[in-house]
Each structure stands twice: as C-alpha cells, then as structure tokens.
Chain A
Amino acid sequence: MAIEVRDVNKSFGTTPVLRDVSVDVASGSLTALLGPSGGGKSTLLRVIAGLEHPDTGTVRISGVDATRLAPQRRNVGFVFQHYAAFKHMTVFRNVAFGLEIRKRPKDEIRRRVMELLELVHLEQMAGRYPSQLSGGQRQRMALARALAVEPQVLLLDEPFGALDAQVRKELRTWLRRLHDEVHVTTVFVTHDQEEAIEVADTVVVLADGAVEQVGSPSDVYDNPANPFVMRFLGPVTEIGGSLVRPHDIEISAEPRPGSGEATVTRIVRLGFEVRVELLVGDREAWAQVTRGTAERLGLAPGDIVNVRPSPGARSLALTGA
C-alpha cells in the first residue's frame, strides 16, 4: 500500500471534520476522494500531505509512519486548488523550486524541468510568469512542479475546480493519460461524480467526515452501499418505496410482473433522451427512456402507463420513507 490512513479523527474547534477515517490507497493507483463540499475530503488530503495534523489516528506513506512528519519531509507532491503558483517566479523557476531546495546540480535541474514542461506541454512557456498563463496552463505548471521532486504520492485538491467546463473535460482525459505514463500513486479530491468515475480507478466516497463506500467506479455506481451514495453518484427517482436510477425504469402499456400504474404528467425531450415525468400514486417520479421507446409507446401527458424497475437493476429500499 502506498498510503494507509488509520482511524483518523480531526476537528476544527468543536466541529468534527474527519470521523474514524481509514483508507488504503494501492501503489500506482489513481484514487478519487469524492463527496459533497464540507464532507472532509480536502482535510483528509491535507492530513496525508502533513498540512494538517490529525487529532488521533495514523498516516503511513510507503510503509513509513508519517503521522508526525513535517510536510517537507514526506516527499509528497501536492497540487492546490488555486494552484498556489509562486507569483514572483517564472514557470521554469516554479518547477525547479523543489529541486533547488534539494540542491541538485544546475544541469540536472535544467534537464529535469524541461522534461517535465514537455510532459505538461508548457515547454514554450518556461520563461513566462504565472500571471501570463491561462488557468489550465497554471494548473499544469503546478502539476509539473509537484512531479519534479519525484514524489512517492501525488495529491491533487480539486484539481479542476477553478476551471471552466471545456478545459475541465480536456484536463481530465489528459490527467488519466499522464497517470498511465508516469504511474505515480495519485489521490485527487473532487465533488464531481462524473469526474471521479471518468478519471479514477478507485473511488472513496466521503460524507460528513466519514467514509461511506470504497470501490471501483462501476462498483460504487452500480452497487451503492446506501441511499446517500446512490443519490450522490447519479440521478435517482423513487418508485414503490425504492430508490432506482431513472434509466432503470421500464415503461409499458400493459401491466407486467412487479409493475404499478402511473400517470404521465410531462414529457421533456433532451436530444436523444426523453425525460418522462410521472405521478405514481400521489408521489412524483421520473424515468429516462430513449426517444425510440417514447415514440413506440406514443407517450403523451395524461396517459396511464405501467412502470417497474428493470429486472436486475440495482434498487435500494428506503425504510420509513
């Protein structure tokens, strides 16, 4: 294991932020810490980096107890949400910083920095200052800077949080490819489930300072441990006292085993998909069907149809709902 977090508790003042958190991160993996804001994921990342000290519990990095180790001795790469670019240094000097601190020879620093700038496609920008870069470029510079010291683990705090949607998507794919190239154990924090599922090979869902579920992206999406995880990872609707993904709802004209009656209240066409809003008894629900299905059934508001979760689809019974 590259990182082992055991029974970590942490409070700010009287507010608990992490509660008995234990997480293992496998060597060479790309792990997402996913959860709503205020869920403790950034704090956990900062505890791993040594920027925050846990009240109780331990952190081991590459088998070594790092709990009381200062951040500068942990050899982790940390990429901050707002980049934390050294504003008074050029891109080159930013990336070289960690190597200069380690007193590496000048020509080695030069070679390594240029290598990394090439890796993040910033070789043309070496002489610029951070203020002359776009947000995405700054983010890549911060990444190169963190990678320069050959960290045992790379930690990224909401790495794409401050970027606009288009750049975000590009950088995601790029990060995934970069990870395949350099293979450094990577942990990143995100509140965007799509980002976590697309980029990570392991997802840790955190809420209210506690780990809700750990698993592969398909695992947490398809087999959520509880209603919270199910809701957080994708759209859900409630039907017959169970939580179901809207695309797992079957609509038919005739009753089928396990189906119940519902009234169509509204139909919204979103390109290829069609959102069918329903009234099941006195409860609102919705289903996501393809255009073809909607046309085949000839759905219109006011129609009475039969609905049921598709056989084999994951649903969670809500108790007392």
Chain B
Amino acid sequence: MADSAKNNVEHDVEHDVTHDTKHGVARYVLRTTAVAYLFFLLVLPVGLIVWRTFGDGLGPFLEALTSPSALHAFRVTLVVALWAVVLNTVFGVGAALLLVRHDFPGKRLLGAFIDLPMAVSPVVVGLALILLYGRFSPVGGLLESWGLQVIFSTPGMVLATVFVALPLVVRSVVPVLEELGDEQEQAAHTLGASRLQTFLRITLPGIRSALAYGVVLCLARSLGEYGAVAVVSGRLVDQTQTLTLFVEERFQNFDQPAAFAASTALALLAVVTLLLTRLLRPKD
C-alpha cells in the first residue's frame, strides 16, 4: 500500500506540472469536502464529548466511573465480552479451517450462514434468542427447571454477543489461511508431524496476526454491543447492566456526567482498538 501511495504521489506531481491549475483546484475542493464531512460527522461530536467529560478535570470523570453501578457494569461487560471472545475464537478458527482446508457438500451455505449475523438487526437477535431460550419457550423452560436461567441473565447476554460478533474471527482468518496454502502443512506431515502438531507449530503461527486482528475486532464488538444485549438482559441496574446499557440508563435519568464519562471510556477503548487493528491488519 505504501508503494502504490508513493507511485500515486509521483504521478500526481507529474500531473500538476503538465496540466493546468483547474485540476489542482478540483483536487482541493474534493479534499476539503471529504475532510469537512468527516470533521462534522466524526471528529467534532466525539471531540465534544471528550471535552465535556474532562471539562471539569479528571476528578469527576474518575468519580463517575468508580461509582458502584459503573464498576458493576464494567465487570458485567468484561465477563460477557470475554466469554463471547473465547467462544467465537474457538469457533472462528475451526470454521475457517473447515471452509478453507476441507471439502464437503453445502460449503457455500455454511459460509453464508456464518455471514448471516451481519444482516440481522441487534434487536431481532435479542428477540430470536428470547423466542428460543425465554422462560415461556420449551427449551428455556427446560433449562430453567435445571436451574439455568438464560434470558435476563449472563448466559443470554453472552449468546447475544456471540451472535452479533460471530463472523469477525472467521472472516479475518479465512483469507490468510487461503493465502498461506497447505504446502507448509503437508511439508510438516511428511516430516512426521501429527495433525495437532502441525496445527500448533505451523498453521497457528501462520495465521497469528490475522487471528489477533479478528480477536481484537471481536472484542471491540463485544464490549460495545448495545441493542441485542438491551433486549435479552432485561436491563436490570446493578445486575445485568453492561457499560453501554449504563450509558443509556444514566442519560435517560439526566445523569449526564456519568453518561459522558462512560461514553468517553468506551470511545477511548474504540480508539485503542483502531490503533491495534492498524498494527495487526494483514498487509498485502
């Protein structure tokens, strides 16, 4: 990418010399339009919240985030996100291997099903899980009679989060696995490595950065999920309230400082994610 960018630059410079300034003006207009749009849509709104949060110094920010409710929300968020990331990572690597290294009937269908969550509204995700695992459904009733409450409780929130973040690891790993090819794995086999040894010593190191990239995406999505969790959690303060639910509830209850502080914390997490994905993004 750096290379082609450099070529472009050289080309443009050349262009400027040989062409009239009309072209230069057009470029300036395009650049200004793009930057202004992004400034008013992204930078200014996010900047304003950060500024408002820290307007009165760091003290109120920390205070708002260390209230018992906020701390509880942090903990719930972490527990749910970690479960979702672990499950989706295991599934993601397995499914990617299946899609790239194995042949079976219905492979395209499986790929399409894995992508399906991207096309489903988070609210519909919540509804779907309630219909299967809710107290009044046969499955949910059975699980509850065994003492496992899914909806309005952590398992349901984990399921909802797994659902929305499901394709991320698979789709990060698949292209790299394809690119990697299976020759190195075959070479390991001929050298005496078993399937497990080959996976651990050859395949896993080969997809390491793509996997990390997928995991970061999955983690960010899991920490930030709102709609699906809002439906299945029942939004019980100090029980099933995640950080995003905390933001909404505080805001509706006119506690702007807390809502802003939690938002800023989540926004900072988002920025860290962005920087991490920049570092980890598979290079061409």
Interfacial residues, chain A to chain B (CB-CB below 8 A): 49-51, 70-78, 80, 82, 84-88, 97-98, 101-102, 142, 145-146, 148-149
Contact = CB atoms under 8 A, between A and B. Distances in A.
For chain B, what secondary structure do more than half of its interface residues adopt (helix, strand, loop), or is it mixed? helix
B190 interface: yes
B205 A76 contact: no
A71 B189 CA distance: 6
A23 B173 CA distance: 41
A85 B181 CA distance: 12
Interface in B179-238: 183-184, 186-194, 197, 201-202, 205-206, 208
Interface residues of B, number: 17
A79 to B, nearest CB: 9
Contacts of A97: 188, 191, 193, 201
Interface of B: 183-184, 186-194, 197, 201-202, 205-206, 208
Contacts of B208: 88
A42 to B, nearest CB: 12
Given A80-B183, A82-B183, A87 B206 contact: yes
Contact of A77 (B190, B197, B205): B190
Nearest to A145: B191
Nearest to B188: A97
B191 A84 contact: no
13 contacts: A50-B190, A51-B189, A71-B189, A72-B190, A76-B190, A77-B190, A80-B187, A84-B184, A84-B187, A97-B201, A98-B191, A142-B187, A146-B190
A142 B191 CA distance: 11
A85 B185 CA distance: 10
B193 A72 contact: yes
Nearest to A49: B190
B184 A86 contact: yes
B186 A72 contact: no
Given A84-B183, A101-B197, A149 B191 contact: yes
A77 B192 CA distance: 10
Instruction: Please list the 10 inter-chain residue pairs (A to B) with the smallest Cβ-Cβ separation, ordered nearest first.
Output: A98-B191, A84-B183, A84-B187, A78-B190, A71-B189, A88-B205, A101-B192, A72-B192, A101-B193, A84-B184
A72 B189 contact: yes
A145 B193 CA distance: 13
Contact of A78 (B187, B193, B197, B202): B187
B37 to A, nearest CB: 41
A71 B186 CA distance: 8
Contact of B187 (A73, A86, A102): A86
Contacts of A71: 186, 189-190
Contacts of B187: 78, 80, 84, 86, 142, 145
Given A80-B183, A88-B205, A102 B190 contact: no
B206 A72 contact: no
B191 A101 contact: yes
A68 B191 CA distance: 17
A75 B206 contact: no
A51 B186 contact: yes
Nearest to A79: B187
Given A78-B190, A84-B187, 12 more contacts: A71-B186, A71-B189, A72-B190, A72-B191, A72-B194, A77-B190, A87-B184, A87-B206, A88-B208, A101-B192, A145-B191, A149-B191
Contacts of B202: 86
Contacts of B194: 72
A51 B208 CA distance: 25
Nearest to B194: A72
A77 B193 CA distance: 13
Contacts of A142: 187
Given A88-B205, A101-B197, A149 B184 contact: no
Contacts of B206: 87-88
Given A86-B202, A87-B206, A88-B206, A98 B192 contact: yes
A88 B201 CA distance: 10
Nearest to A85: B184
B190 A51 contact: yes
B184 A78 contact: no
Contacts of A73: 192
Contacts of B193: 72, 97-98, 101
A258 B221 CA distance: 86
B231 to A, nearest CB: 43
A77 B188 CA distance: 10
Nearest to B193: A101
A43 to B, nearest CB: 13
B186 A80 contact: yes
A210 to B, nearest CB: 25
A186 to B, nearest CB: 14
A75 B192 CA distance: 7
Contacts of A78: 186-187, 190
Nearest to B185: A84
